[in-house]
Structure formats: C-alpha cells, structure tokens
Amino acid sequence: MSSELERRLEGLFAEAPEPDPGAGEKALHKALRELQPAAGPRRGLRAAVLAFAAAVVLLVIAAGSLAAAGALHVSLGTNTKPLHAPTRLVLPKGANGMLAVVDGKLSVVTKSGLGLHGRPVSAAALSPRALYVAAGTADSLIAMAPDGRRAWTHPAGGKVVAIAWAPDGFRIAYVVRAGHHFVLHVIYGNGIHDTTVDRSVRAVKPSWRADSLAVAYVGAGGKAVIYDVGHESRMLIPVRVPVTGLAFAPTGDSIAVAQPTGVWVLHQSAARNIRGTVKSFGWLGGRLAVASPGLRRDSAVVRLVDPDGASRGSYLVRGTVVAVTPKLVVVRRSGKLVGGNTTLLSVSPGATLRDLEIG
C-alpha cells in the first residue's frame, strides 16, 4: 500500500464515529469501496488499495490426513517413507489458486502458473484471490507472493499452527503455540496492528464470517467462541464441548460447529444437529458437506445440507474424505502409489460429484 493511500485510510479511520466501535468497522469497509477507481466494472470489486483484496471464496487444499477439527496439515499415501509435496498441482476450474502442505513442505499453484514448492512451513493459507500466501516459518508469520517474493514478516513469538484469511483480505487470524498454551492473534493483511484476541485457545483453524467482521475459534475447554472485531466482544456458541472445528458459511451468518458425534448447523435462531462420526466437514458449493465413515471398508458417506439445515441428499464415496473446500472434496484412497492416491471430487451446480485426479 502506498504512503499516500495509508494517509487517506488513516484519515478515514479518524473520521469514523467513536461511540460505537462496530460503526468504525463498517465505515472502514465503506471507505475502502469509495477508494475504488471510477472507471471499469464495479460489480464484484473489493478494495483495490489492498494487495490482499478478495473477490472469490478462498480455495485451500490440504492433501492427506486432515483432522476433522479443520487442521491444515496433510499427508499423502502410507507412512512407510518420507513424503514430499506434489511436483504438480492441477488447478480446478474456477479456482484462483491451490495450496497444499505435505509433511511440512508448501506447494502452491495459481492461475498465472507461479508456484512455491518445497518451502518448510508450519501452516499456510492463501489470500482470497490467491495473490499472497500467509505462512508460519520458524517463529514468524510471513506473507509472500506465489513467486516467493516476501511482502512482510511479523514475529509471532512461537510456532504458527493455524491460519485463516478473512474473505475481504483485510485481516488474518492465526494461532501460535506459546509454551504450553495456544494463543489467537488477528493481524492486518499488510502485517501491522497485531492484536492478541485470546491467550488460551485450541490448535484449531479459525473461521471468518462472510462479512469479515467476526471470527470463530475454539477456546479453552473446547468452547466455541465468536469474536466481533469491531466491538472487540466475544460470544459463546451454546453447544456442548468439546468442539473440534468451526466453519462459517461462505454467505450469510450460518455456522457449522463440529463435535466428535456430529455437526451443529446454526442458522439465525434455528439449530440442527447432523449426527454421526465426523471425519471431515466444510462448505461445498454453498452447502455444508459432512463426511462420515461408510459401512464398507475404505468408503465414506458425504451428506449435503443447506445453510438452514435442510438435507440435500448424500453420496457414497470410495475412500476416506480428508478435506472439504468450497469447490472440492479431497479423498484419500488406499492401494495406490504415493503421489497418486489422492482424488479431488468437484461439485457442479447440480451437486453432482465427479472424479478429478491429481497428476
């Protein structure tokens, strides 16, 4: 961001009403829209002054043994020998970029063909338009372009174990291991204004609400918490502990809360429980996908649910579902060679699943 634009943003911050911190957040988003160039199409644009602006939903693929809690790290194939990040990731149709962390090694591919391969990281996430990668390395949080050019570095004070980029690209939530505790931070997308949100959380990937004004995380004791960044306030989600993962819907304010025995879908004042062992879950094509073990060995059942909790059918999948992304389901299948045993199941408008192999 240029110094001139920084001064303009600071001025806009100063003019925001102070009695209500939430009003300041809304004023910021309005100000960013006002700074858009007058020429060109307006629909779908976000803040052009931010290198981390978002126009589409984040696509992050972690290939391998992804925990139902929403962890980023993945392993491919068996554990009989060291594995490496795949040398070639196939970018699915409609995606701006793809990211995988395999045995602590980063692999990224984008529309431009630029990619990072083999860089050691503890966690990683793509910005909404795949313009930047936020990653944990050593005891720092860094942001870099897909070609490896570093944008900024921030001392994290420990190992970064989970990262989530806000849909508008303006903020990053990340979890750091500090001694015997895990700490949740929120930092601006340009690497400034780091804020400690909670000093006792679980090592679970946070989830941002679609408007980027609130982030959900798993706090001490396995409690589900929503933090309002504008009002700097917290609200507990009334579900039993322990919570193993959270995921806000890509639009609206519905949220899925995972537990070992099922997933709660909270939509406005209504709540619905999808019972069963949860291996993985996430929002797929605007619907919640919950993966559970199938009756047969090396199989899984993927149930699709609307944001209001209405069931939209289920699918039998051969293999183990290890990740659900906004556009893909990542499935691990046994009996195949390392590097060739992960299948991506993409979703079409009719919620039909089809195989798409990684090369």
114, amino acid identity: L
Which residue intervals of 188-328 are DSSP H helices? none
Helix axes 21-34, 3-15, angle to 10 degrees: 140
CATH tag, 50-357: 2.130.10.10
Contact 167, 216 (CB under 8 A): no
- Could you read off the pLDDT of 243-301 as tens digits, one per residue? 999 999 999 999 999 998 999 999 987 899 999 999 899 998 889 999 999 888 878 89
- Could you read off the pLDDT of 182-236 as tens digits, one per residue? 999 999 999 999 999 999 999 999 999 999 999 999 998 999 999 999 999 999 9
pTM for the model: 0.72
> What is the number of other CB atoms lying within 10 angstroms of the CB of residue 62?
25
- Could you read off the pLDDT of 78-130 as tens digits, one per residue? 232 333 334 456 676 777 888 888 778 888 888 887 777 888 999 999 998 88
| Mean pLDDT comparison of 11-20, 58-67, 92-101, 173-182, highest-scoring range | 173-182
- Percent pLDDT > 70 in the chain is 67
Nearest to 298 by CA among 312, 281, 319: 319
- Could you read off the pLDDT of 333-347 as tens digits, one per residue? 764 433 334 445 543
Contact 330, 322 (CB under 8 A): yes
